[in-house]
Amino acid sequence: MDRTEQVAALSGAAADQWGLVTAAQAKELGINGVQLLRLTEAGLLSNVGRGVYQLTAAGVPPHLEVKVAWLRLQPKRFLWDRPVGDPDSGVVSHASACQLLDLGDIPAPDVEISVPRRRTTTEPFVRLRTAQVATTEITTVDGLPVTTAMRTIADLLHSGADGGHIGGVIADAERRDLINVDDLAEQVQPFARKYGLKASATGYDLINHLVAQAGESLRRQEVDRASQEGFDQAVHLLAERPDLIELMWATRAAARQQDNPPPTASVLDPALMEVIRKSLQPDPAVTESIRKLWQPDPAVTEAIRKTLQPNAALTESIRKLWQPDPAVTEAIRKMLQPNFAIAEAMQKMMQPDPGIGRAVRNVAALPPGMLKAFGQATVPAPAAKRTSPSPRPSDGEGGAISGDGAQELDGTSSQGPEKSDSQPG
């Protein structure tokens, strides 16, 4: 196979792959690595990724990095042999999906691809996310499988992307009818607390919060705002130009005359006047609803009356609670009444005993020597270590001896100095 045939074979395969072809695909076409190198040196091919080549004549395709990374997931299989939802293939998702769908301005420094099973890559700018993506959540953009706008927004919320960037994606998707706000609100409600809202916040609250962070507004909000502004302008116009109201009523009266055409038919459209008339005419159903709302409900009125009416049983219970118990009152009275028996006993206790008084008087009448002896007897003597027993005096010396060897008190101390033989007994 000469060079021309090699280029022709590669061009046929690369035509449906954005002008790209992998080395494994070239091998399937009968072109080896050496031949690819020579074609590259000749300027007919450009090496745009590990094992991926671009035909120079085809030009650089948009989103080249994404397409190269996706082709390298299954380098042997051609684009037309990869059905959507293939379990071994991947789906462009997250910020990379926003780039392909042209939604918002979220930055995408890496190529993000969701794969159904765990896989690794040596490419520094490729990020593979393990996730199951249903076929209904996949769309095709420029031949690449890409997650839909609904699934992309959910993936961004799940990954914790910046709220303002997500709000811009939501606003763009809503304007282009790529999402249904009601369905999206139901799907994103679980992420409300993750983005600073209360647990009771709805999906609509989260959507409005994110869109407001992006400084954007939803199309439905713009339509509602425009309708409100138009209604306010019409009301102000009718307030400033009462003659328009008279003209409308005159047109209405003339329209009722079947024989004569309305005099202002050439100025005002009867159909428009009828629409305005119906808009200004009160709706009987609405009026009746308002009347029923303002009319008091007899059942509710009766319930309130019964509630405000004094309850005889409750009143009697309260009266009994506040009425003093005669038994308790009598017990308290008996407790507070003086007890004569206790008073008599206390009086007897306080009255001095005549016997004690006489004993005190007898003690006071004792001689001074005897009182001193009583005082010394009440003070305990220090314990002295006895080395040898003292001689026991006779019965005639110092008085009688007690059973424990101590002298009885006779006006002198038992611990005093021994008497000499010359001193009288």
Mean pLDDT, to the nearest integer, of 183-195? Answer: 93
User: What are the pLDDT digits (tens) for 356-402?
Assistant: 667 766 766 667 777 677 667 655 555 544 444 444 444 444 443 34
Q: Record the tokens describing residue 112, joined without a space.
A: 């993000």
Q: Give the tens place of pLDDT for each residue, 84-112.
A: 777 778 999 999 999 999 999 999 999 99
pLDDT in tens, 25-75: 999 999 999 999 999 999 999 999 999 999 998 889 999 999 999 999 999
Average pLDDT over residues 223-251: 64
Give the mean pLDDT of the chain. Answer: 77
What are the tokens at 185?
A: 């609100």
Specify whether the CB–CB gap between 76 and 24 falls below 8 A: yes
Residue 154 makes CB contacts below 8 A (sequence gap 6+) with: 187, 188
Quick count: other Cβ atoms within 10 Å of Cβ 123?
Answer: 16
Contact 150, 98 (CB under 8 A): no
Dihedrals phi, psi of 83, to nearest 5 degrees: -70, 155
How does pLDDT run across 208-221, given as a tens digit for each residue? 999 999 898 887 65
The label of the residue with tokens 């110092």 reads 398
Q: What is the model's pLDDT at position 14?
A: 92
pLDDT average, residue stretch 253-258: 63
Query: What's the helix, strand, coil split of the chain in %, to 5?
Result: 55, 10, 40
pLDDT category of residue 340 using cuts at 50, 70 and 90? confident
Q: Token digits for 183?
A: 């369905």
Domain residues of the chain, as ranges?
Answer: 1-61, 221-282, 283-347
Contacts of 368 (CB under 8 A, 6+ apart): none
pLDDT at 191 over 90: yes
Which pLDDT score, from 0 to 100, does residue 387 have? 46
The pLDDT value recorded for residue 417 is: 43
| pLDDT confidence of residue 99 | 95
Least confident range from 81-85, 166-170, 175-179: namely 81-85
SS3 per-residue string spanning 292-348? HHHCCCHHHHHHHHHHHCCCHHHHHHHHHHHCCCHHHHHHHHHHHCCCHHHHHHHHH
Q: What is the pLDDT of residue 421?
A: 41
